[in-house]
Structure 1
Amino acid sequence: MKSIKLRYTKLFSAKILLSALLLVGCESYLDRAPEADITEKVAFGNFNSFQGFVEEMYGCIMDPNKGGAWNPYLFADETLNNSPYAFDNGNYWGAESYFYGQSVNTTNNDSRTKRIWEYAWYAIRKSNIALEKLDQEGLFQGTQEEKDHLRGQALFFRGWFYFEICRYWGGMPYINRVLSPTEEMTTEEFKRLSFQETAKKMAADFRAAADLLPVHWDKSQPGQATMGHNRDRINKFHALGYLGKSLLYAASPMINQEATGVNAFDPELSKQAAEAFGELLKLADETGQYKLQPWASWTDIFWRWNWERPGGTEAIMMPTVFQRDRVRWSALGGTVPSSFGLNSGTSADVPTHNFIKNYGMANGLPIDDPNSGFNPSDPWTGREPRFYKDIVVDGDQIHNAAGNDRFAQLYNGGFHRNQINPPSVTGYYAKRYSPIGPNFTTSLANALQAYVPYLRLSDIYLMYAEAVNFSPNGGPKAVASNYTLTAEKAVNMIRNRAQLPDLLAKYTTSKDSFFEEIVRERAVELAFEGARFCDLRRWNRNADPRYLNKTAIDFNRGANGKPINLSERLVVKRAVERKHNWLPVQVAFTRMYKDFPQNPGW
């Protein structure tokens, strides 16, 4: 599996691609000398060269858990590490290896050099350049379909990179033109907007992109040159998905409260989000291009052996792959027992006991339902199927080799709990991206491919349910105006795929009771995918006491192998205030001009 960027480097003239990239290597392109070797006509005059320019935007998409040898990317209540997370202590200035701190270099295929802040702004500038060149009369010579493909990608990327910035730092000035490096940033155009205001501008770009982009590049004339290699290219589904997602975020309580003072979902924005998701789901039904992954191969969404690309039938947007051999040292190495020798032995991200409580029982009930059958003295028996796909508990076989690593020893004093450095600090390991089990070997690990999806179909179904639930006249039994699926049925589709029965009627009697099941379902279905931190914040639940305590499970192993003397132990209480709705903006940027203020509380 190779990244789109690398494929296009091979498929198009290297000289033309390099020429296109050089045009935005720095702002000096604005005043380059007349005798410069490369003319705009060469760089932007035909589809192949122009698409090479657009390809650099794909190279700005970060691979979330590979920004270092291992970098934390889960900032809510899901995981703990042997080293404290800065975010758990309320220090949102931290996590540089995910958010910021690198100069942009799009010719460097090292995933460890990619960051959100710098690369997003760079890509936004590139998208504006692309749109300007497409509008320049007489410059681009190609078909209308080719022009639509180029414009659609540029519009999508402008909206998408704004979404990536804004979901962490809040609203921003929405720059939709190429700026001169000498112009004064003193007009209304450069004032920071609220997230809701910015999201409406993103939505306009996503809507325009959806109207221009193909359903699949393989079925369009411009995609013929790369037939069979177009799976990751931005298409109509990407644009519709993020149209809905940006509107749903804008509708959410924290963001709506920031904009209007109302700590509740905005019904009209929820309705618009539901219609965007409904349009996508209807298109998926009609084309079959994206489908829910069958349960038997559910893990194909997240990982594959032998260098094969994961994503399955339902991943719509995946990270750009920069280094296939980084998986062993990052997604895998930072989450498996350090005794496996797959990383430097300094980091181990493991699930928290409090988060694991979100996984219900095989009968479909939450563990706190009095009829669930959950036994706190035997807490890992009878749990729902995703629990056993995601979580390693004491006694599970995790390696095919003999010795201490063959079976998980996570009891008090056990090999993986106290005798390795670092150990599991909670009594669990996660395996969504680290498929340790009876067949696991180091040689297999070397060729593992595991990537965190940005957008997949199950997320769309759950967001559709949430948006429909809070639309005018919404609720569990309601539907979007353009799609016949009820909100309740959308959630049940995800549950049924995981071999669970439909929600009981008592959980669908009101918007509020149904929403609590959406919250829990998103926690489980999207576990370890980076959604949780944004979800809790947009729902105004980041400081909710239910999500603050990060705990471990202490226990001994009984003679029959079952846990005894179980005790939940508080490891850290997350420090959260109102200011933690958004990350702080780096001080250097807040000093650029007076209308770019710091986020409240920072």
Structure 2
Amino acid sequence: MKTIYKSFLTLGAALTMMCGFSSCEDYLDKDPDSNVSPETPFKNFQNAQGYVEEIYNCIPNIAQCDWTTSWNLGDDEIQNPQADDMMLHQVDIGNYYAWQGSSGFYFGNKAFGGNPRSNSPFDHGIYAHAWYCIAKVNKALNTFEDYFTGTKEEHDLILGQLYFFRAWWHFEMMKWLGGLPYVDQEFSASETPQLERLSYLECADKVAEDFSRAASLLPVDWDKTTAGKKTMGHNELRINKITALCYLGKNYLWAASPLMQHGAQTGGARTYDYDAGYASKAADALGEVLQMVESGSTQYALVSFDYDDIYNHKKSKTATNCYSDLFFTTGQAWLQPGSTEAIFRGPSTGWSFTRYNYSRTFGPNALCAQDNKIHQPTANYVEYYGMENGLPLDDPDSGYDPNYPFKGRDPRFYHDIIFDGVQYINGDPGADAAMKYAGLATGGSMRAVSNASRTGYFYQKLVPHTCQKIDQGSADDYGPNPHAYIPYMRLADIYLMYAE
């Protein structure tokens, strides 16, 4: 935890000063003499950055916001019946409002009662903190110019982060709720705002304005700024120009989509009916990023896929940044995953939450004995992995043979998917000898619907198969420093969005 949080400026004094900006009830309970003057949080760069750091702290950890979590709500994943209370299953049965009481879903974690100052991922959620963080931004923007004393560079760094976060929290809310009021002004505790709910496109235009402002103010790399040199080597989580441009492009691309343009449609007549204007703006923003990346003028680069043993995630001896490091690291002093591709992440204290419980929810409960709520890929998801020649399974030239369905597949398949017959336990299985090799065929040792795989597959894209009680010393116990995290945005996403 110390390794992750030393990337931030010292917050103690600044966060103490922030007590005056908490809830109305807390404010009314205070002795008036204890109130902090309005200029204190913004009088210099260190105080102002400390003010902003609390917003970073509120970014939810998608995968570790509770003991067991749901985040992949499409048809790519399923869990076993003990997880029927989870958001994943509730969406499958059409209960979309279940997020309001689901502690295992990062959007509305802990029924909106999260603590913005807590270091525990259990205390953070999008809905739990969005309005709080937006209010913090608006208070700062309303006050900052009057009191700040510092260099132009420091001034722009603070403003750029504030504009980014106002846009980002609105954007994340829009993903789940559609259009909503765009709150860009400060309200007093005595006011009851009556703001118009905007359409999705109206809201997206407001988001774009703030992301554009942020991109114009922020540097590509904090390590190359005078202010950033004070925290040299620990600025990788900070918002920069690339982050803002990438989200600007994503926001425009979503606004261009047929769903946002025409609403839900049946029959598929308008599936590809994008708005050309928004799509062009998306291409401009994303293309600017890719041009900088490919010219070598950023700190970002695609990771390699270079393995001596793909299935066991053993990198080639010459590999440095590899695909597995995007989601899970071990033996690297609790290094937060993401490598050179991570464009947006929140701070993570996931070293302990990785071991208990997250990493123990991807295999059969008999070996991964924590919560019996197991993440499993669906057959649909597995079929998305094509063949080594790049063709989909149903292409007549792909070479796919249904009698040998696991032969000649895309190399990522062998990195990500556990299928029938592969060696699941590397060590001595002892009493669990029946599970040394994955029994995932019908009637196999790992096919119990209640506590193993209901689909005939497990997946290890995010957590290696060695995270179980036999092999835990190599990847799952505290000693090797395991750390799991799912980045919100990575460089590969930018290439895919630009192509779209």
Normalising by the residue count of structure 2, what TM-score does the alignment of the two structures yield? 0.86
Deviation at 1:23, TM superposition (A): 3.0
Of 324, 332, 344, which aligns to 2:351? 324
Equivalent residue for 2:447?
A: 417
- Residue 58 to residue 164, structure 1, CA distance change in 2 (3 Å): same
Residue 359 in structure 1 maps to residue 385 in structure 2: yes
Q: How far, CA to CA, are the matches of 2:2 and 2:216 in structure 1?
A: 28
Residue 143 in structure 1 maps to residue 155 in structure 2: no
1:308 is aligned with what amino acid? Answer: L
Deviation at 1:228, TM superposition (A): 1.1
SS in 2 for 1:316: strand
Deviation at 1:331, TM superposition (A): 3.4
- Residue 350 to residue 13, structure 1, CA distance change in 2 (3 Å): closer
2:237 is aligned with what amino acid? Answer: D
1:449 is aligned with what amino acid? Answer: H
Q: How far, CA to CA, are the matches of 2:151 and 2:112 in structure 1?
A: 38
Q: How far, CA to CA, are the matches of 2:467 and 2:165 in structure 1?
A: 42
Q: How far, CA to CA, are the matches of 1:308 and 1:276 in structure 2?
A: 30
Matched-pair contact (CA < 8 Å) for 1:2–1:321: no
Residue 94 in structure 1 maps to residue 98 in structure 2: yes
Matched-pair contact (CA < 8 Å) for 1:5–1:55: no
Structure 2 runs not aligned, ≥5 long = 307-321
SS in 2 for 1:416: coil
Residue 214 in structure 1 maps to residue 219 in structure 2: yes
Equivalent residue for 2:476?
A: 445
Deviation at 1:27, TM superposition (A): 3.7
Equivalent residue for 2:489?
A: 455
Matched-pair contact (CA < 8 Å) for 2:328–2:337: yes
- Residue 298 to residue 351, structure 1, CA distance change in 2 (3 Å): same
Equivalent residue for 1:159?
A: 167
- Residue 247 to residue 415, structure 1, CA distance change in 2 (3 Å): same
Q: How far, CA to CA, are the matches of 1:452 and 1:379 in structure 2?
A: 29
Equivalent residue for 2:414?
A: 388
Of 102, 108, 117, which aligns to 2:127? 117
Matched-pair contact (CA < 8 Å) for 2:248–2:285: yes
Matches within 5 A, 1:266-277: 266-277=275-286
Residue 408 in structure 1 maps to residue 441 in structure 2: no
Matched-pair contact (CA < 8 Å) for 2:417–2:457: yes
Residue 81 in structure 1 maps to residue 79 in structure 2: yes
Equivalent residue for 2:190?
A: 182
Deviation at 1:12, TM superposition (A): 2.2
Deviation at 1:177, TM superposition (A): 1.1
- Residue 258 to residue 179, structure 1, CA distance change in 2 (3 Å): farther
Deviation at 1:181, TM superposition (A): 2.8
- Residue 41 to residue 271, structure 1, CA distance change in 2 (3 Å): same
Q: How far, CA to CA, are the matches of 2:248 and 2:444 in structure 1?
A: 49
Q: Which runs of 4+ in 1 moved over 4 A?
A: 1-7, 28-34, 259-263, 437-440
- Residue 215 to residue 415, structure 1, CA distance change in 2 (3 Å): same
Deviation at 1:309, TM superposition (A): 2.2
Of 38, 45, 54, which aligns to 1:40? 38
Deviation at 1:437, TM superposition (A): 4.9
1:292 is aligned with what amino acid? Answer: L
Deviation at 1:143, TM superposition (A): 1.0
Deviation at 1:227, TM superposition (A): 1.1
SS in 2 for 1:453: coil
Matched-pair contact (CA < 8 Å) for 1:5–1:56: no
SS in 1 for 2:443: coil
Q: How far, CA to CA, are the matches of 1:396 and 1:218 in structure 2?
A: 45
1:429 is aligned with what amino acid? Answer: F
Deviation at 1:193, TM superposition (A): 1.0
CA deviations over 1:385-408 (Å, ceiling 9, x no partner)? 111111100111222222233221
Matched-pair contact (CA < 8 Å) for 1:365–1:372: yes
Deviation at 1:94, TM superposition (A): 1.8
Q: How far, CA to CA, are the matches of 1:280 and 1:114 in structure 2?
A: 30
Q: How far, CA to CA, are the matches of 2:324 and 2:49 in structure 1?
A: 33
Of 33, 42, 64, which aligns to 1:66? 64
Normalising by the residue count of structure 1, what TM-score does the alignment of the two structures yield? 0.72
Q: How far, CA to CA, are the matches of 1:86 and 1:3 in structure 2?
A: 37
SS in 1 for 2:34: coil
Equivalent residue for 2:338?
A: 311
Deviation at 1:326, TM superposition (A): 0.4
C-alpha RMSD over aligned residues: 2.3
CA deviations over 1:405-436 (Å, ceiling 9, x no partner)? 32211122222113x95111101001011111
Q: How far, CA to CA, are the matches of 2:32 and 2:148 in structure 1?
A: 20
- Residue 243 to residue 64, structure 1, CA distance change in 2 (3 Å): same
CA deviations over 1:558-583 (Å, ceiling 9, x no partner)? xxxxxxxxxxxxxxxxxxxxxxxxxx
Matched-pair contact (CA < 8 Å) for 2:58–2:117: no
1:236 is aligned with what amino acid? Answer: K
1:108 is aligned with what amino acid? Answer: S
Q: How many residues of Structure 1 are paired with residues of Structure 2 in the alignment?
A: 456
2:91 is aligned with what amino acid? Answer: F
Q: How far, CA to CA, are the matches of 1:315 and 1:413 in structure 2?
A: 41
- Residue 12 to residue 363, structure 1, CA distance change in 2 (3 Å): same
Matches within 5 A, 1:524-543: none
Deviation at 1:332, TM superposition (A): 1.6
Deviation at 1:6, TM superposition (A): 5.8
Matched-pair contact (CA < 8 Å) for 1:3–1:321: no
- Residue 92 to residue 371, structure 1, CA distance change in 2 (3 Å): same
SS in 2 for 1:375: coil
Structure 1 runs not aligned, ≥5 long = 467-602
2:453 is aligned with what amino acid? Answer: S
Matched-pair contact (CA < 8 Å) for 2:66–2:122: yes
Q: How far, CA to CA, are the matches of 2:192 and 2:13 in structure 1?
A: 36
Q: How far, CA to CA, are the matches of 1:6 and 1:218 in structure 2?
A: 15
SS in 1 for 2:289: helix
- Residue 262 to residue 125, structure 1, CA distance change in 2 (3 Å): farther
- Residue 342 to residue 235, structure 1, CA distance change in 2 (3 Å): farther
Residue 430 in structure 1 maps to residue 438 in structure 2: no
- Residue 70 to residue 93, structure 1, CA distance change in 2 (3 Å): same
Of 125, 128, 132, which aligns to 2:142? 132
Q: How far, CA to CA, are the matches of 2:426 and 2:445 in structure 1?
A: 17
Q: How far, CA to CA, are the matches of 1:455 and 1:13 in structure 2?
A: 26
1:39 is aligned with what amino acid? Answer: S
Residue 335 in structure 1 maps to residue 343 in structure 2: no
Q: How far, CA to CA, are the matches of 1:166 and 1:242 in structure 2?
A: 13
Equivalent residue for 1:235?
A: 240
SS in 2 for 1:327: helix
1:265 is aligned with what amino acid? Answer: Y
